[in-house]
Amino acid sequence: MKTSYVFSQLVSVALDRNHFNYLVRKYEGDKYVKHFTCWNQLLVMMFGQLCNRESLRDLTNAVAAHQKKCYHLGFGKHVSKTNLAYANSNRDYLIFEEYAYYLIAEARKKRATDIFQLGGNVYAFDSTTIDLCLSVFWWAKFRKHKGGIKVHTLYDVETQVPAFFHITEAAVHDSKVMSVIPYETGSYYVFDRGYNDFKQLYRIEEIGSYFVIRAKKNLQYRVLKLKRRMPENVLSDAEIELTGYYPSKHYPKRLRLVRYHDPEQNRDFMFLTNAMSLTSLQIANLYKNRWQVELFFKWLKQHLKIKKFWGASENAVRIQIYCAICAYCLVAIAQHDLKLEISTYETLQILGISLTDTTPLQELLSKTNLQNIKDQDPPNGQLFINF
């Protein structure tokens, strides 16, 4: 029996076409469409992400080179630069956004683990800015002569999969997006200094969740209770109340202030948290793991196409970002289901040159000679670690 193409095998492992068809019907994505459907569009876009195409023309040329395989790859027979550009500009991006969330939920469910053993999920929230040419992406004005967008991401540290993302213009301040985060009771949220919005932090307190945030140097507070006998590298651990006019009104309850010296960086950090039951070292460790979201952004920009866009409209940009996240989840699900021991970079490198091969997927990714393939990420930057 002839084995299907590697790309088709990946799709069959990770993608649920029935759910995607439901979303297409919901948003009437295929209304009046005769040939190049939303499903064809999704697969072509994900194919371009996995094989690292540079532009829309580059992508359609790559597809044209495999014209006889298009039907079996799921692309249909009418892939052209015009068709793809029109589809990206005019089809509702919500189809791809909701499907990306569906794949995120599937990946998180499969990769569920409890590393920190805190009784709740641990999330890191941050944003990354993608620079755009203002003369082309006129709708994404950032500064006078510069354009850009921000991708705000709530990253599940334990499953190493993003749980929520929100795309805004680059001019939007990070803290303004805290109000749209889908908070969960009993979970832990880790923020950097730019998110010192005490009104939003108190909202986390009110729903029974916890936060760890790096405090600003000009924080005004009064010490109420100071702990003795600090662990190694913990400089102080105190219960405090805020004394600034607006901070004290927005956050009237007690907080905990932990000062920690990081011997690796030879730097002192100051953390604010409402997690009174955790040890000071646990709080420092939670903040240290916030770096995982930075590694996710780095990985996404280096290995998938979200810095160079294949369309100029806002709709096309959003669809490309959502398709990149779908490709990310595709690899995450495949790595879990196939129990792969190789790194993410190695997986993508093999897939990028093998999408139209007919080698069985398990054999391709587990028995391939990897002696000359070196991971370009730093040792602590590995994503999709099998815990």
Question: According to the model, what pLDDT value does residue 367 have?
Answer: 52
User: Alpha-carbon distance 290 to 195, whole Å?
Assistant: 13
The two three-digit tokens of residue 82, written as one number = 């015009």
Question: According to the model, what pLDDT value does residue 145 have?
Answer: 79
Q: What amino acid occupies position 74?
A: G
Question: According to the model, what pLDDT value does residue 72 have?
Answer: 86
Question: According to the model, what pLDDT value does residue 381 have?
Answer: 42
Per-residue model confidence as pLDDT tens digits over 316-373: 999 999 999 999 898 888 888 888 877 666 777 788 888 888 888 888 887 544 544 4
Cβ(204)–Cβ(198) below 8 Å:
no
User: Alpha-carbon distance 162 to 175, whole Å?
Assistant: 19
User: Alpha-carbon distance 172 to 285, whole Å?
Assistant: 29
User: Alpha-carbon distance 331 to 351, whole Å?
Assistant: 10
How much is the pTM?
0.85
With tokens 């095998």, the residue in question is 9
Cβ(10)–Cβ(361) below 8 Å:
yes
CA 58 from chain center: how many Å? 26
- pLDDT exceeding 90 applies to what percent of the chain? 56
User: Alpha-carbon distance 247 to 197, whole Å?
Assistant: 8
Task: Give strand ranges (E) for the chain.
Answer: 122-132, 141-143, 146-156, 161-169, 188-191, 210-214, 221-226, 234-242, 255-262, 267-273
User: Alpha-carbon distance 329 to 180, whole Å?
Assistant: 23
Per-residue model confidence as pLDDT tens digits over 38-83: 999 999 999 999 988 888 999 999 888 888 888 888 898 888 999 9
- pLDDT exceeding 70 applies to what percent of the chain? 93
